[in-house]
């Protein structure tokens, strides 16, 4: 289907099912229950799952296929956001022109940075990309204030020209990004017993883009171009000895990866029309590295899983405070309750990074292939048990055969 083999089609269908039914899948607990704290089926968080999934998919094309570790991809995310907001201010609130400009500008910016950075490899390449990202951050924060609005960030205003849309319909209110007449903030809430499921226009727009981005990444992975990138990762020196110049391939991978980041930045601005320099900090670049490694670098679905895993911890576990902990342990005697709260406190709330760091350390040590390797081990365990059971059932017939067979 769609030029994909059976395995890749299965992966695409899994991602499609997860994306389409995410408002239900991520709301497993009734909204009035104590466990509702772990629900993640609200639009803002689901949009982050998808947008950072796109960001990680693009990064995986560079790091997972070529082995080039970039610490500067947040620069393309920020550039895409700025480009989208400027399109909203100058032309129209329609998200399609904004996203298109985000991809183009991020691609051009990636070509310039990649042309210089790819003259080196290994740690020198990583340092160069980090340097460019930090320069971009400082330029956006201070030097380019007329374009980026500096520390405050670039926002919409009532006096923006918006050539195609005109002035806001009602004085004192700002317009929302739209697509085909639907506002990205439009949300339908469906009540079913104690559950409330929220279906947002903005989320499903992001989900469709994720599916397209994931499909494109599959085609890149399975193409001759993808095979060449794998050859670069395997042994670039040997590839050079064969007379093949690897730089055009690595530059193309860098640009494609940067365009994915620009797409993610454009979607972020489309869901919330604001762009700030904080999106270009080195911490944002490090975050996408963690997402890719945690999910499984070089795998297709791994970056999506890693992005969802980290964003879930960031948004769910960071909101657990001492009041919630006391509610959880209320059935315990007061002394034991206080001890348990004191033990758990460093790992939640503001200390959620500690929990994430421990989990990341465990994954790197015991699952070098990330969450995907963990899933493969579990699936292999079930297959082994099934094979053993089938073998036990055939013991009587197999013993009657000649050993020579």
Give the pLDDT confidence of 192-203 residue by residue, as tens digits: 877 888 899 999
C-alpha 161/C-alpha 65 separation (Å) is 44
pLDDT of residue 264: 95
State how far the alpha carbon of 349 is from the alpha carbons of 20, 116, 155, 319, 329, in Å.
30, 41, 30, 5, 16
Beta-bridge mates of residue 187: 200
What is the model's pLDDT at position 260?
96
Tens of pLDDT, residue by residue over 345-384, are: 888 888 888 888 888 888 888 888 888 888 888 888 888 8
The whole-model pTM stands at: 0.90
Could you give the CA distance from residue 118 to residue 111 in angstroms, rounded to a whole number?
Answer: 10
Contact (Cβ atoms closer than 8 angstroms) between residue 71 and residue 130: yes
pLDDT > 70 fraction of the chain, expressed in percent and rounded? 94
Report in angstroms the alpha-carbon separations of 234 from 63, 70, 130, 224, 330.
12, 18, 24, 15, 55
CA nearest neighbour of 155 among 74, 276, 248: 276
Report whether pLDDT(401) > 50. Answer: no
In this prediction, residue 394 carries a pLDDT of: 56
Q: Tell me the per-residue pLDDT of 65-93, one tens digit each, with 9 for 90 and over.
A: 999 999 999 999 999 999 999 999 998 89
Topology of the domain comprising 6-280:
ABC transporter involved in vitamin B12 uptake, BtuC (1.10.3470)
**Which of 183-197, 213-227, 286-300, 390-404 is the least confident region?**
390-404
Tell me the C-alpha distance between 225 and 223, whole Å. Answer: 5
What average pLDDT does the segment 54-72 reach? 94
383 φ/ψ sector (left φ>0, alpha ψ -120 to 50, else beta): alpha
Helices (H), 21-121: 22-25, 43-66, 74-90, 95-117
| Per-domain boundaries in the chain | 6-280
DSSP state for residue 94 in the 8-state scheme:
B
Taking residues 164-172, what's their average pLDDT? 59
CA distances from 381 to 3, 74, 245 (A): 31, 39, 43
Q: What does the angle CA 397 – CA 402 – CA 403 come to, to the nearest 5 degrees?
A: 105
Which range, of 43-52, 83-92, 154-163, 170-179, averages the lowest pLDDT? 170-179
Note the helical H segments in 176-271: 201-222, 224-241, 247-271
Give the pLDDT confidence of 31-41 residue by residue, as tens digits. 877 777 888 88
- Give the pLDDT confidence score for residue 224 in this predicted structure: 93
Whether residue 167 has pLDDT greater than 70:
no
């Amino acid at each position: 289907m769609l030029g994909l083999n059976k395995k890749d089609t299965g992966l695409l269908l899994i991602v499609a099912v997860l994306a389409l039914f995410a408002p239900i899948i991520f709301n497993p607990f009734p909204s009035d229950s104590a466990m509702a704290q772990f629900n993640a089926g609200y639009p803002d968080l689901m949009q982050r799952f998808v947008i950072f999934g796109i960001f990680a998919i693009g990064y995986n094309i560079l790091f997972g296929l070529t082995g080039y570790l970039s610490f500067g991809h947040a620069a393309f995310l920020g550039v895409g956001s700025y480009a989208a907001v400027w399109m909203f201010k100058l032309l129209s609130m329609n998200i399609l022109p904004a996203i298109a400009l985000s991809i183009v500008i991020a691609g051009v910016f990636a070509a310039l940075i990649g042309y210089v950075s790819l003259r080196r490899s290994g740690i020198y390449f990583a340092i160069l990309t980090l340097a460019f990202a930090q320069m971009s951050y400082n330029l956006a924060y201070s030097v380019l204030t007329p374009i980026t609005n500096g520390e405050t960030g670039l926002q919409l205003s009532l006096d923006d020209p918006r050539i195609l849309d005109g002035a806001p319909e009602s004085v004192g209110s700002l317009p929302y990004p739209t697509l085909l007449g639907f506002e990205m903030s439009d949300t339908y809430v469906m009540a079913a017993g104690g559950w409330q499921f929220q279906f947002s226009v903005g989320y499903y727009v992001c989900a469709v883009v994720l599916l397209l981005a994931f499909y494109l990444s599959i085609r890149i992975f399975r193409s001759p171009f993808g095979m060449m990138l794998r050859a670069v990762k395997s042994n670039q020196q040997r590839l050079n000895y064969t007379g093949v110049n690897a730089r055009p391939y690595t530059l193309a991978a860098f640009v494609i990866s940067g365009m994915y980041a620009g797409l993610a930045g454009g979607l972020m601005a489309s869901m919330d029309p604001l762009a700030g320099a904080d999106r270009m900090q080195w911490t944002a670049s490090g975050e996408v590295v963690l997402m890719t490694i945690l999910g499984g670098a070089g795998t297709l679905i791994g970056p999506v899983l890693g992005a969802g895993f980290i964003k879930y911890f960031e948004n769910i576990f960071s909101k657990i405070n001492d009041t919630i902990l006391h509610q959880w342990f209320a059935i315990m005697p007061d002394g034991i309750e206080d001890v348990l709260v004191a033990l758990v406190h460093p790992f939640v709330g503001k200390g959620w990074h500690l929990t994430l760091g421990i989990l990341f350390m465990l994954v790197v040590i015991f699952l070098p292939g990330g969450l995907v390797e963990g899933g493969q081990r579990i699936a292999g365990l079930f297959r082994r048990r099934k094979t053993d059971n089938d073998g036990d059932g055939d013991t009587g017939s197999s013993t009657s055969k000649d050993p020579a067979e």
